[in-house]
Copies of this chain bind each other. A is one copy, B any other.
Amino acid sequence: MATPRKRRLPRGTLDRDTIVAASLRLLDEKGMRGFSMPALGRELGADPSAVYRHFASKDELVLAITDALIAEQDVPSLRGSCWIESLILIARHTWELGGRRPGAMALTASRTAAMPGTFAAADHIIGVFREGGFDADDAGRMYRSFVDFMLATAQQRAALLDLDPEALELDLSNEAAFRSADPRRYPNLGAAAETVATRTWTESFELGLAMLITGIEAMAPKPCRGHTHSVRPLA
C-alpha cells in the first residue's frame, strides 16, 4: 500500500520463462477470456507492451505456453504392467488436466510446439505403442491418432468449462432440455432422453476411451492376453 504501483521494473526482470509462468497463472485464475495482454501486464507488474520484447506476438507466446504445460506433466510410468494400462493412464491424466485447468487446455490443446516438452511426451507415447509390438512407423501412426483423440476430447470439454458463466449455464440447461424433445417426433431420442440428459462428460469420455482401447488392442501385434483393463464398456 505504501509503494507507488507505477515504479519502473529493473532491467532484467522479464524473460520468457517468467512471462510463460505468469500466463499459466492468469489462465488458471481467469480462463482464456481473462488472458489478455493488458491482464498479463498487470500480472507481471509491467506494461503490456513489454512482453513484445520477448515474444514476437501473442501467438508465439501461446506456443511457448503449450510446451511448458506439456513439460509440467509427470505421468507415472507403469513399467511391468500392461502397456495398454499406460495409454489409459495418459488419457485419463490429460482429461483430468482439462477439467482442472480448462483455460490452459482450451488455449493450447490444438497447437503443436516443436520444443523439448512436446518431443519428450511424443517419444514416451510412441515407446508405449512399441511395447505393444507395433513397428516404429505404425507406432508413430497410432501415436498421432491416439493423441488427437485425447487432446480433442479434453479440449472440447475445456472450451465449454472456459465459457463465461451465463453461456455455460445455457449450454448445460440445453443438455437437460433433451428430455423435453417430443417423443412422437423423435422416438429414439425419446426412449434414451433421460440417459442422454443425465450423462456426465466424464462418463462419455470413459466410454469413448473404452471403444478406442478395444480397437487399439485388436490391432496390436502383442495384445495383453489375460489382462483385464481398467476401462469398463457400458458399465
Residues of A within 8 A of B (CB): 57, 59-60, 63, 109-114, 119-120, 122-124, 126-127, 130, 136-146, 148-149, 151-153, 155-157, 159-160, 163-164, 166-167, 170-171, 173-175, 177-178, 180-181, 185-189, 191-196, 199, 203-205, 207-208, 210-216, 218-219, 233-234
State the CA gap A146–B181 with chains docked (Å).
Answer: 20
Tell whether A218 pairs with B207 under 8 Å between CB atoms, given A114-B180, A140-B199: no
Q: How many chain copies does the complex carry?
A: 2
Tell whether A178 pairs with B123 under 8 Å between CB atoms, given A151-B156, A156-B110, A219-B234: no
Using CB atoms, name the residue of chain B closest to A115: B174
Interface of A is mostly: helix
State the CA gap A193–B151 with chains docked (Å).
Answer: 20
State the CA gap A173–B115 with chains docked (Å).
Answer: 12
Question: Please, which residues of chain B bring their CB within 8 A of the CB of A194?
Answer: 137
Question: Please, which residues of chain B bring their CB within 8 A of the CB of A57?
Answer: 166
State the CA gap A98–B220 with chains docked (Å).
Answer: 30
State the CA gap A120–B188 with chains docked (Å).
Answer: 10
* Partner of A144 from B151, B159, B196 at Cβ < 8 Å: B196
B189, A122: Cβ atoms closer than 8 Å? yes
Tell whether A192 pairs with B59 under 8 Å between CB atoms, given A174-B113, A181-B119, A215-B214: no
